[in-house]
Structures are given as structure tokens and as C-alpha cells.
Amino acid sequence: MHSIIATVLRRPNRVILIPACICMFYFFAVSFSRYNKALRLREDPYVESSFDWSSLPQRHPIPKSELASLPKGGPANLPKVQFAFKADKGSAGQARAKTISNRREEVKDAFLKSWTSYKEHAWMYDELTPVSGRGKNTFGGWAATLVDALDTLWIMDLKADFYDAVAAVATIDWDKTEETACNFFETTIRHLGGLLSAYDLSWETLLLRKAVELGDMLYAAFDTSNRMPPFWVDFAKAKAGTLRPGTHDPSASVTSSCLEFTRLAQITGEDKYYDAIDRITRLLDRTQNATRLPGMWPTFFNMENLDLVQDNGFTLGALADSLYEMFPKMYALLGGLEPVYEKLYRDAMDTVAKHLLFRPMVPDQADILFSGSVHVVGESSVILQPEGQHLACFVGGMFGLGGKLFANAEHVQIGEKLTRGCAWAYDAMASGTMPEIFGLLACPTLDACEWDEKAWETRGNRALKAGFLNARDPRYLLRPEAIESVFMMYRVTGDPEYQDIAWSMFQSVRAATETEIAFSAVSNVTQEGGGEKTDSMESFWLSETLKYFYLIFSPPDLISLDEYVLNIEAHPLKRP
């Protein structure tokens, strides 16, 4: 632009053209101003929440001088997470790029179909019922799908829809709900995480205001006698200062709010948010090697008595998953300045590799792994239950991220084998999608083992692929964990085969779950077509599953893993 104007001004008729150039600049300035006003800088009516949680006195306060603060100093020079991608400008590379672009657009079409139907049939409800076409509330009636999908709208460059959603967010009143309590964990990862991520991407201050309102409400969950949060935030008890920690809470639900509260502290400068989660981290650190399976924590905690060691069940699957997922992510979000998260990750994964990982016994001796569950009997008898869970499919990506951040090449290799294991399980089912829970024959070690036909005939399910004992929960709930790890390992290794794996998965998921208006969970993935559609589309379909499918077919600098940490709900939070 500068060179064009300079050329024009050298011409003899510059006296005539100078006013024209001024008019042109005025036109661009006015147009840009209008664009900004219509988008990021527009003023939407803002509804303050009816109750100001920030004004609520704490019944169990921490003196300001004793609050833990964010680590000081600039971020450490951490190892790169992402592969050093290079564009292939040859004819084969251009053809591949076109194919990948077409795949990305098909994913976007699936998102738009779901989002458009949500707008038409379920606007401001938590979820759309994708068969019957109604709205339903499952998370307080605070528009969970809308808030959860904010950053996906931005990432997919659906800016008009994004700002329509922002305007709707401005009207949410956290004190208006038909419920008497909210799920602390789910509200944190979906609503607070969604708002913070959308703010990090757009810098729309309205979103930060709503995040602070919600953050203060959720911060009230820590106002207990020992500063540990309960599973449910009962609003009346929170206002009265009578909340109590649970005595049998899922370990993930009460320990997995670190990323959101840390990012809120980073943005606002308020130490109270970081102090709240830091106390949980210190408790985990003190108890890590005192449990019945040193290195890991049991699935259930007695938070009222600070008993994290007595239970005897251990898993990376349901009820415990995100407890472990947060360790490398917190390390990255804090810029490598808090070493406890590396210690927690390393010690936990040493135990996982020794006791929970198993190699399935299959006829072709495929070099794949799964993460099972164990029970500790007596003093030291560790009993492995060789079951796979869709929820545990995030583990491959976790090992990949931890392997890169902590310079552990073996963990990257483990991550690849776990990720390929979940992809194998998708391909093994008649519908091309994975069951919630399934049992497998296991090799005695992580090395290849000979196929035992007799064991298969005795214990296996002949209706399933060789190696499967059962599919005891055959549903597919539109879950993201498998594509999450496929995406992570693609960004970590640069191997384009992961894009092809993702495309196969997407085609199968779409074929099994698509309805007239959106996409639905299905009842039985062991059947062609996935069985009955159960009229459920949780918000993570738009927040996580389709986002990961979209990103794996996008340029690798879109939400780079060296610039962002993705929370449990796939909300990208800006790294320092």
C-alpha cells in the first residue's frame, strides 16, 4: 500500500490525486472502525449477576499475607512441544494440502449443522436433543453448549456467530438457576474454562467480566474448614459459609480446577484464585508416595479428613482421569517455574507404566498399548483389570506432551502406542467407533506375546474382533479423548498418518451418529450403524470432539501447543 501511494504521488497529477488518497484512507479508517464496533468493540447490554459473590465474606479466610502467589519471574525456556513442520511445495504436497483442506471443511460443516440446530431449537439451554429437537438443561441452565463452543466458533472463523454468542453470554445471571447446587468440576472446565479461553483468543472484555463473576462464585467452594472444595457447590450453604468437603468424592472432580483458577489469577492478578488450587497441589505432593500404590492416588478421596491414601482402586479412566492430565499442562501454563508439577507427573507415570499399562494379546501382535485399572489387595498385591475406557484415551496425548516438556523420548513412544491402541479399538468395532468400556486379553508384559487361540475361545467374545473379551458398555457418547490424543501426537511427531487415522475416525463417527438436525450419542457400537440414537449431544461435541478434528486438519500454527495449553474441555489458555 505504501509503495502504491508513493508511485501515485510522483505523477504530475498528484495535486488532484492527493485528495483522492486522503478520501481512500478515510474510507478505510471508517470501515475498520465500523468493523471493530460491530465485532470486538461493540457494546452489548450487560447483565450483572443478581448476587455478587465477591462481596461474600469468607467464613474460613486466609490472611492476605499468607496467600500463595504465582511463581515470580519470566517463563523458563521450555523445550518445544510441536514438531518443526515444513510446507511441501511440490505437486504431491499441494495435492495433500488440498485433501486436508477439504477434510477440514467437512468437519466445519458438521459443526455448523450442530450449532445451527442448537440456535434454532435450544438457544440458551445447556444442550440440544439431536433427535427430538428440543433444549434441555443439565448444568444449571447457563447455556453450557453456547459457552463451551465460544472458542470453537472463533477458531473456525465464525466471527458473526461468535459475537452473537458473546452478546448472549452478557445476559447470563449465575444466580438464576432452577438448581440448588452446581457441579464444581463441570462448571469450572466448561463454563469458566470456556469464558477464559474465548477471552484469551478475542480479548473481549465482556467475557472476562463474566469469568470473574463465575470465578468468584466457584471460589466460594473453597470456603470450608480445610479449604478443600466439595463435589457440589450448594448455593445456600456457600452463602451461609457451611459447605463441607465430601467424604467419598471422585479424585478428578476435586483436584482438576488448577488450570482455570491459575489462568484467572494470571489475568486478574488476584492471588486468591491461585492460592485455592495450590493448597490442593501441596496435598497431592504430600500424599503421592503414601498411598497403597505409591506414585498414584486412589479413585476416591475423603477430602473432609484429608484422606487421600486409604482407597485401593487406581485408574486413569473415569473419575480420576483429569487429576493426572493437569500435571504437564500446569507445568507449561506456569512457564516451567513450579517444579512440583514435573515431580508429580514423573512419579505418577512411573507407576502407571509399571502397573496400569498393558499390551493386548492379538493375532497380529500389534504394537499397541492400553491403560487399565488396578486394585491393591492386602499389603502389596496389585491386580490388573485389562479394560480399556474411552475416557482413558487422553493418556496417549498426555504422555506425548509430558515426553516433550520433560525431554523424555520414551514417553513420546508410549504416547504413540497408546494413541494407536485407541485408534485400533475404533477400527475393531462394526460401527467404526469405540465403546465406553471394553475388556481385552492381555499379554503378561508390554512386549509382544504369542496369540493364544485356546484362551480366546474360552474367554473371548466371538462376536467381537479377536482379542476382545467384551464390550460391557457399548455406547459411544460423542466423546473426544481418542481424537484428542491423535491430534496431540500429530502435533508432537509431525507424522501425517495421524491425519489419515483422524479422517477414518471422523467418517465413522459421522456415519454412526448423524441425525436429521445434528449428531447423537449411540447405544451400541458393536452393531453396524451404532445402534439406537439416544437423543443426547453433550456440549463437549462442539467444544472438544469437533475442535480436535478441525485442528488436526488445520495449519499447525493455529492454536500451537507452544503457545497454548488446552484444558480438560479443550479450551486453549494462553501460555506466558
Q: How many C-beta neighbours within 10 Å does residue 420 have?
A: 21
Task: Name the catalytic one among 106, 179, 186, 347.
Answer: 186
Q: What is the largest CA-CA distance in the chain?
A: 96
Residue-level pLDDT at 44: 73
Question: Can you tell me the distance from the alpha carbon of 193 to that of 263, in angstroms, rounded to the nearest whole number?
Answer: 9
CA-closest candidate to residue 156, choices 186, 116, 211, 129: 116
Cα-Cα end-to-end distance for the chain? 34
164 is annotated as an active-site residue: no
Position 42 scores a pLDDT of 56
Q: How many CB atoms lie within 10 A of CB 149?
A: 29
Cβ-contact 297, 312 below 8 angstroms? no
Per the DSSP assignment, residues forming a β-bridge with 442 are 360
**Separation of alpha carbons 531 and 520, rounded Å:** 11
DSSP string, 104-118: HHHHHHHHHHHHHHH
The dihedral through the CA atoms of 470, 472, 478, 479 has a sign that is negative
Look at residue 380 in the predicted model and tell me its pLDDT: 82
How far is Cα 513 from Cα 531, in angstroms, rounded to an integer?
A: 9
Contact 321, 398 (CB under 8 A): no
> Residue 492 in contact with residue 553, Cβ under 8 Å?
no
Measured distance CA(275)–CA(83) in Å, rounded: 35
Parallel, antiparallel or unpaired: strands 373-377 and 370-371: unpaired
Q: Is 321 annotated in the active site?
A: yes
Of 400, 314, 386, give the one whose Cα is nearest residue 357.
Answer: 386
User: How far apart are alpha carbons 534 and 521 in whole angstroms?
Assistant: 6
To which residue does cell 450403524 refer?
529
Catalytic residue among 200, 481, 544, 569: 481
How far is Cα 356 from Cα 358, in angstroms, rounded to an integer? 6
> CB–CB of 505/498 below 8 Å?
no
Q: Are 140 and 187 a contacting pair, CB within 8 Å?
A: yes
Cβ contact 396:412 at 8 Å: no
Three-state SS for 56-78 is CCCCCCCCHHHCCCCCCCCCCCC
| Residue the block writes with cell 495535486 | 15
Q: What is the mean pLDDT of each run of 10 residues along the chain (576 residues)?
A: 35 44 46 39 82 97 96 97 96 97 98 98 98 98 98 98 98 98 98 98 98 98 98 98 98 97 98 98 98 98 97 98 98 98 98 98 98 94 98 98 98 98 98 98 97 94 96 98 98 98 98 98 98 98 99 98 98 96
Q: How far is residue 242 from each of residues 125, 307, 314, 402, measured CA to CA in Å? A: 30, 21, 31, 39
Instruction: State whether residue 392 is helix, strand or coil.
Output: helix
Specify the pLDDT at position 376: 98
Q: Are strands 127-129 and 134-136 parallel, antiparallel or unpaired?
A: antiparallel
The answer to whether residue 484 is catalytic is: no
Cell triple for 79 = 523445550
Question: Residue with C-alpha cell 453456547?
Answer: 146
Please indicate whether residue 473 is annotated as part of the active site. no
Cell digits of residue 116:
445451527
HSE-up of residue 318 (Cα within 13 Å, Cβ side):
8
Residue in 161, 270, 321, 387 annotated catalytic = 321
Rounded Cα distance, 534 and 523, in Å = 7
Rg (CA), the chain: 25
Q: Which amino acid is at 40?
A: R
**What whole-number distance in Å separates Cα of residue 166 and Cα of residue 45?**
10
Amino acid identity, position 153:
L
Indicate which residue of 436, 538, 544, 569 is catalytic. Answer: 436
- With beta carbons less than 8 A apart as the criterion, state whether 182 and 233 touch: yes
> Over 489-558, what HEC string results?
HHHHHCCCHHHHHHHHHHHHHHHHHECCCCECCECCCCCHHHCCECCCECCHHHHHHHHHHHHHCCCCCC
Local structure of residue 187 (DSSP, 8 states)? I
Neighbours of 76 (CB within 10 A): 14
CA distance 100 to 486: 15
Question: What was the pLDDT predicted at 466?
Answer: 97
DSSP class of residue 377 equals E
Beta strands in 316-441 (DSSP E): 357-358, 370-371, 373-377, 381-385, 387-389, 437-440
CB atoms within 10 A of CB 231: 17
Q: What are phi and psi of 82, to 5 degrees?
A: -80, 145
Gap between the Cα atoms of 358 and 489, Å rounded: 20
